[in-house]
Amino acid sequence: MAGRQRRLSAAAVGAVLFATAAPSAWHAVAGAGVGAAAGWLAMTDAETHHLPDRVVLPALGMLLLSIAGASWVAGDTSGIAHAGAGAVCTATGLLALALISRGGLGFGDVKFGVLLGTWAGWIAPGAPVIMMATAALLGGLAALLLRARGTPLSTRIPFGPMLAAGAAAATWWPGS
């Protein structure tokens, strides 16, 4: 299957995964968009080690508009606060890792993490923790498996797929 077809397939799977577990109609609509972007970006990162801003930033804009619309309709701003907290916490953790890892984690991962942390925070206050713990666990497992196969420590592992899987786990986590 060609790269474009794999990305489109991953986008479709992501849209369904995120939308079907969403706690409300607003979440489902936004979840389809975030899930599609997450699937496309995860596959792109796996293939190219690049998370393009031309996908991450519009998806973040769409999500922010959805959160604002849902909050306005519901007359409740707690979703905005939770989404903001998820974005800040995720950005802080990933930015710290990017700065200390000397190129091991890129700023594309940080921006993608902001998108997914915003989503996770909006669906449930504790969901960003689930997302990041799952991503870290999967990243560590991938590194151990590669190392067991004799792959050099300098081998770059794309973290976007781990972030996307973590966000999917947070979306489906009971209570989210």
Give the start-to-end residue ranges of the domains of the chain: 3-172
* Terminal C-alpha separation, the chain: 34
Tens-digit pLDDT profile for residues 30-73: 999 999 999 999 999 999 999 999 999 999 999 999 999 999 99
Q: What phi and psi, each to the nearest 5 degrees, are found at residue 144?
A: -65, -45
pLDDT number for residue 101: 86
Q: Is the pLDDT of residue 21 over 70?
A: yes
pLDDT number for residue 1: 66
pTM score: 0.94
Q: Is the pLDDT of residue 110 over 90?
A: yes
Rg (CA), the chain: 16
pLDDT number for residue 23: 86
State mean pLDDT over 9-38. Answer: 95
71-107 b/e (C-beta count within 10 Å ≥ 16 → b): beeeeeeebbebbbbbbebbbebbbebbeeeeeebbe
Nearest to 153 by CA among 144, 163, 166, 161: 144
CA quadruple 49, 30, 120, 19: dihedral, nearest 10:
-90
| Token representation of residue 92 | 């802080």
pLDDT number for residue 176: 60
